[in-house]
Amino acid sequence: MDLGGNMSHELRVLCLNAGSSSLKLALWTMAEREAALGTAAVEGIGTARCRLWLRGASGQPVSEAPLVLTDHASAVHALLDAVDAAHWPTPQAVGHRLVHGGPNHAAPELVTPALLSALRELVPFAPLHLPAELAGVEAVARRFPALPQVACFDTAFHRHMPELAQRLPLPRALWDVGLRRYGFHGLSYEYVMQTLGPAAMGCTVIAHLGNGVSMVAVRDGQPLDTTMGFSPSGGLMMGTRSGDLDPGVVLHLLNSRGYDAAALEHLVEHEAGLLGVSGLSADMQTLLAARDEKPQAAQAVALFCYQLRKQIGAFCAVLGGLDNLVFTGGIGEHAAAVRAAACSGLTQLGIELDPQANEAHAAIISRAGRSGVVRVVATDEARMIARHTRTLLAAD
């Protein structure tokens, strides 16, 4: 592919974000003004519900259709074919979100054969995510061998936490082979911090609430602790993930309930969290609508919000105070009832919501005059990937 153009003035970056059964794509132009040129996705890869959709620069639907795709490599080619058919501008670089960088990758890196080899060694750290993400990198390389690719690690933001926060209470030999608390959602947290700028100084807790859920404690721009640990399954309860479990529960399931490793993995990844407690749905909007009629839905929402509220208090202790509480992610940005319940009873920490501002999803939803400012920030991981790609290639 002809890279064309002057990268010092403009760089068109194709951003890829692979999930276990989905692949999201966004094309950004990075110049004096950052602008999204379009978004696309394949959802339900490997299932009967697989579909591909495209949207234009302003989010307007361009096309949507069902299709049959069995793996992420074919999904990459299907998306690129759809983008070509829509006559999007030719990208000059590709940035990838990679869920795990292990102990040795703490910043975005140019994709090279050596990096790919190192990342394949990390697959046991993130077996549900890394294979699909690496398949996407390799598919782009086969289609566009001259196109520079940049790997952006979701763990990188947290690699600067104090060692005490990264340590697991396990034998030291296991630390030496990479068993530690890594943390995730780092690209989202980076974007929120850049968006807030000087307002993020002091003691800040950011809650990324989506299908995946985590929090981070940041003081003067430096992460001090986070909820997710060795894997994205740890920490707070999520849509279908359990979050942290007593190790005794795991041992009991293995020893007394007939579970093997595969069944246990399916339980904690796909049958737990909001879905498991409610017995109804992993979708917060569905549960909020049903909670007046279905006690299990109400209990799932209440447990979710209780864990959030408890973690805010814990991170306040880690930080030594609380100047900012930030909600982001699909639930964090759109579920006023969740924000209200999570902040209920936190007046001694300086947190009190303005109900009208909260219902309106305002940028600041706390009452004036309180010491803790509560904010809602729309995250944008694709834009963060594009920024990292531009920065790395400009320095190369």
Contact assessment for residue 210 and residue 329, using Cβ atoms and an 8 Å cutoff: yes
Distance CA 217, CA 227 (A): 9
- Top-confidence range, 4-13, 24-33, 37-46, 355-364: 355-364
User: For the chain, which residues make up each domain, given as ranges?
Assistant: 11-153, 198-376
Neighbours of 107 (CB within 10 A): 13
What was the pLDDT predicted at 2?
34
Domains 11-153 and 198-376 share a fold: yes
What was the pLDDT predicted at 10?
86
pTM of the model: 0.94
State which CATH number among 3.30.70.20, 3.30.420.40, 3.30.1330.10, 3.40.50.2300 fits the domain covering 11-153: 3.30.420.40
The percent of residues in the chain predicted with pLDDT above 90, rounded, is 90
Residue of 81, 154, 246, 380 marked active site? 154
Backbone dihedral angles phi then psi of residue 328, each to the nearest 5 degrees? -145, 180
Distance CA 336, CA 357 (A): 9
For residues 287-325, one letter each, b for 16 or more C-beta atoms within 10 angstroms of the residue's C-beta and e for the rest, the string is bbebbeebeebbebbeebbebbbebbeebbeebeebbbb
Q: pLDDT by residue (tens digit) across 228-241?
A: 999 999 999 999 99
Backbone dihedral angles phi then psi of residue 366, each to the nearest 5 degrees? -95, 160
Helix ranges (H only) for 197-335 are: 247-256, 261-266, 273-278, 284-290, 295-319, 329-334
What was the pLDDT predicted at 21?
81
Going by C-alpha positions, the residue among 332, 312, 331, 330 that lies closest to residue 322 is 312
Q: pLDDT by residue (tens digit) across 256-276?
A: 999 999 999 999 999 999 999
Backbone dihedral angles phi then psi of residue 310, each to the nearest 5 degrees? -65, -40
The percent of residues in the chain predicted with pLDDT above 70, rounded, is 98
Per the annotation, the verdict on 154 as an active-site residue is yes
**pLDDT: is 73 or 372 the higher one?**
372
Q: How confident is the model at residue 7 (pLDDT cuts 50, 70, 90)?
A: very low
State which CATH number among 3.40.50.880, 3.20.20.30, 3.10.20.30, 3.30.420.40 fits the domain covering 198-376: 3.30.420.40
What was the pLDDT predicted at 241?
96
**pLDDT: is 47 or 347 the higher one?**
347
Q: Is the pLDDT reported for residue 1 higher than 70? A: no
What was the pLDDT predicted at 159?
95
Distance CA 209, CA 353 (A): 18
What was the pLDDT predicted at 30?
95
Helix ranges (H only) for 121-200 are: 130-143, 163-166, 172-176, 186-196
Q: Is the pLDDT reported for residue 3 higher than 50? A: no
- Average pLDDT rounded to a whole number, residues 313-336: 97
Contact assessment for residue 320 and residue 303, using Cβ atoms and an 8 Å cutoff: no
Q: Is the pLDDT reported for residue 8 higher than 60? A: no
Q: pLDDT by residue (tens digit) across 202-222?
A: 999 999 999 899 999 999 999
Q: pLDDT by residue (tens digit) across 140-189?
A: 999 999 999 999 999 999 999 999 999 999 999 999 999 999 999 999 99
